[in-house]
Amino acid sequence: MAWSIAEVARMSGVTSRTLRHYDEIGLLPPAGTASNGHRYYEEADLLRLQQILLMRELDLGLREIQAVLDSQVDRVAVLREHHRRLLKERDRLETLVRTVGRTLAELEEGKDDMTKINRPENLFEGFETSAAEAEAEVRERWPEQWEQARQARAAMTAEDQERWQREVTAQMIRTAEFMVAGTPVADPAVQAEMHAHYQGICRFWTPNAVAYKGLARTYVDDPRMRANYDSIAEGLAVYQQQAMVVYAEARLS
């Protein structure tokens, strides 16, 4: 079964102009073109479009999305991880709805004094630490490294930032391919990727072995960092962390 570009636009909410752009850059070529020049799409194309839209929700750029879709990473695993994250976010929002509803009920009953609210800690269920709060924590714990990284970021142009982001994403994909292939983290090829990763970090600040291991822990412990890596392939955050520890012990100690 095939669908016209107008039908795909109606079903997906993506404009025909955007679909044509996706075709032009090779991200989503249609299954074929009719004799009248109209593009048509088949089921596999619709599934690819769904994956594109899911990764757009994660703020990945079009080049990064194409790199993921064209890589050897298991797409089912990637989609499964998207599904897990969506369910987690749904649960968080449902908790937040209950929190706000509970507070409204308390206030409507005249309990506007915290001392009169049962279990005040319930006021904060469902909230997550904001990026600004996380940034403040980093600044407080590692002020010198934070200032060094801030100055390095400030010196980057928009083109520099885009190029750096492409490099980071490409490296994540290469590392994911090693993981999917079952390559041990101590393998020389994986460690070569970790060397490139370390050199990338050194553009902003220069961690020693202890600091690099600490950074490695954030890939697993920080929900935002872990979700970013696991959106490429489930388990990538842990694999990256383990590979970084091996690198730190072998090259930085």
Number of other residues whose CB lies within 10 A of the CB of residue 77: 17
Query: 41: which strand partners?
Result: 3
Strand partners, 4: 40
- Check: pTM over 0.75? Answer yes or no: no
Is pLDDT at 183 greater than 80 in this prediction? yes
* Distance, CA of 212 to CA of 249 (rounded, Å): 10
Distance CA 121, CA 105 (A): 16
Q: From its phi and psi, is residue 206 left (phi > 0), alpha (psi between -120 and 50) or beta?
A: beta
Q: How buried is 209 (Cβ within 10 angstroms: 0-12 exposed, 13-18 middle, 19+ buried)? A: middle
**Residue 28, Cβ neighbours under 10 Å: how many?**
26
User: Would you say residue 219 has pLDDT above 80?
Assistant: yes
Cβ-based neighbours of 155, under 8 Å, separated by 6 or more: none
The pLDDT confidence band at residue 159, using thresholds 50, 70 and 90, is confident
pLDDT band at 29 (very low <50, low <70, confident <90, very high): very high
Go through the domains of the chain in sequence order and give each one's CATH number. 3-57 (1.10.1660.10), 75-252 (1.10.490.50)
CB 88 within 8 A of CB 64: no
Using pLDDT thresholds of 50, 70 and 90, give the confidence band for residue 121: very low
Distance CA 2, CA 41 (A): 5
Instruction: Compute the mean pLDDT over every residue in the chain, rounded to the nearest whole number.
Output: 79
In this structure, are residues 252 and 93 in contact, taking their beta carbons and an 8 Å threshold? no
CB 185 within 8 A of CB 246: yes
Strands (E), the chain: 3-4, 32-33, 39-41
pLDDT by residue (tens digit) across 31-48?
A: 998 888 888 999 989 988
- pLDDT of residue 127 exceeding 50, the answer is no
Find the helix packing angle between 209-221 and 236-247, rounded to 10°. 170
Question: Could you tell me what percent of the chain has a pLDDT over 70?
Answer: 76
